[in-house]
Amino acid sequence: MVSGSDAGGQMAKEALRYLRNAREILKAAPVEDDTYTDVKPVQEACGTAYLAALKAIDEFLMGRGVSEKELPQSVEEYRKAIRKHLAVHNGKLARDFESLYNALHIAGYYRGLLNNVNMVKDALKVVENFIRKVG
């Protein structure tokens, strides 16, 4: 865990709540032969899981004194915040964030390319590990 403040515990709760929501969305998605047959709930779940990672970063930053108004507003700003505040503690977090961005936000949410059940579940496990490392 990176954060030593009490805000870190609250962050994990909120970020993990987003992740639980993503998993709940997937439960309603129809599956046939380990493939989601309806892309819409998968896109929604991927977007929600990506938001869980962003929520973890936001809450960590707020616990470090960054105001809500100063939180990152773009993926590039999140990259900078990770390098400045988190990578000094764990350089792998920057790589993990890039993987989450590419898999969940771009492939899963934006383009709707993720439809394999195991791949999506694995991506959600990566989000959970990311949240725990940040929180």
In whole angstroms, give the CA distance from residue 132 to residue 125: 11
Task: Indicate if the alpha-carbon torsion angle 101, 102, 104, 108 is positive or negative.
Answer: positive
Count structural domains, the chain. 1
Range of the domain at 112: 7-134
- Report which DSSP code applies to 44: H
pLDDT at residue 86 in the model: 84
Inside any domain, residue 18: yes
Q: Mean pLDDT for each 10-residue chunk of the chain (135 residues)?
A: 45 87 96 96 97 95 92 95 79 89 96 96 95 88
Inside any domain, residue 85: yes
CA 128 to chain centre: 8
pLDDT at residue 33 in the model: 96
pLDDT at residue 2 in the model: 46
Inside any domain, residue 102: yes
Q: What is the CATH number of the domain that holds 29?
A: 1.20.120.330
Inside any domain, residue 1: no
Inside any domain, residue 57: yes
- Report which DSSP code applies to 31: E
The three-state secondary structure class of 32 is strand
pLDDT at residue 13 in the model: 85
Contact of 134 with 128, CB cutoff 8 Å: no
